[in-house]
Amino acid sequence: MKYYKLIGVILLLLSLIACGNTTDTKEEQKVEAEVEPQIIHDTYQEITDATKYSLESSNIILTVWDTAISKGFDFDSVFKYMFSGDVKNHEWSGLGMDTDGFSSFSWGSIATDMNNFKSRLDKLNEDKVKVDEMMQQIKDIDGEDYKEKISKLTDYYSTYKKIYNTSTNPSGNKLNYSDNLIDLNNEFEETKIKIEMLVE
């Protein structure tokens, strides 16, 4: 009789453990269901902010390019100083610079952005690293519920990378750069509309 009672106690304990595991599993699933949409939303926001900053940086480059052409400066040399951050003590460069960097007398209000462009470039690269890491997390999400969101977010990310490249590695001639920037800005707005309705 004692033997049967012992078996009953063991079965009861096993039942309680099983119930506990089921509860834990449900709680874990609930947490995952809450976390995954948040990751998607956060990644969308990070890409949006990084893209806007890249577009702003590309427009600075375009303004510098226009100004360099209008003043007869060698824009390749101008970009070399801008991107390296080596802007001081080049007053004899023939590029409208004084001891502190690009001169506002020669370049106007854009001179400040030119002298600080290396810091901007560092932030562009930091943003890229962060976005890449977040997109890697997105790729690990499973489930049909998120398939469309992830697909649209991947397109959004692809557009961001193109714009990032224009802000960190300008190439071609000024006209092509300008046209490409307009096209990419339009592409950004189009992909943004498609994804924001799903994640907001």
Is 191 within 8 Å of 156 (Cβ atoms)?
Answer: yes
Structural domain count of the chain: 1
Judge whether 103 lies within some domain. Answer: no
**Residue tagged 């303004």 (tokens):** 63
pLDDT at 140: 84
In tens digits, what is the pLDDT along the chain, a chain of 200 residues? 444 454 454 545 556 555 555 444 444 443 344 457 789 999 999 999 999 999 999 999 999 999 999 999 999 999 999 999 999 999 999 999 999 999 999 999 999 999 999 999 999 999 999 999 999 999 888 778 888 899 999 999 999 999 999 999 998 899 999 999 999 999 999 999 989 888 76
- Comparing CA positions, the residue from 72, 36, 70 lying closest to residue 150 is 36
pLDDT at 37: 79
SS3 169: coil
Give 98's strand partners: 101
Judge whether 90 lies within some domain. Answer: no
- Comparing CA positions, the residue from 46, 24, 12, 11 lying closest to residue 136 is 46
pLDDT at 128: 98
Separation CA 92–CA 77 (nearest Å): 13
Judge whether 95 lies within some domain. Answer: no
Judge whether 132 lies within some domain. Answer: yes
Judge whether 63 lies within some domain. Answer: yes
**Residue tagged 């049967």 (tokens):** 4
- Comparing CA positions, the residue from 66, 57, 16 lying closest to residue 165 is 57
Separation CA 69–CA 173 (nearest Å): 11
Judge whether 61 lies within some domain. Answer: yes
pLDDT at 24: 45
Judge whether 26 lies within some domain. Answer: no
**Residue tagged 């071609």 (tokens):** 172
Residue type, 42: D
Q: What is the domain range of residue 45?
A: 36-84+113-199
Judge whether 144 lies within some domain. Answer: yes
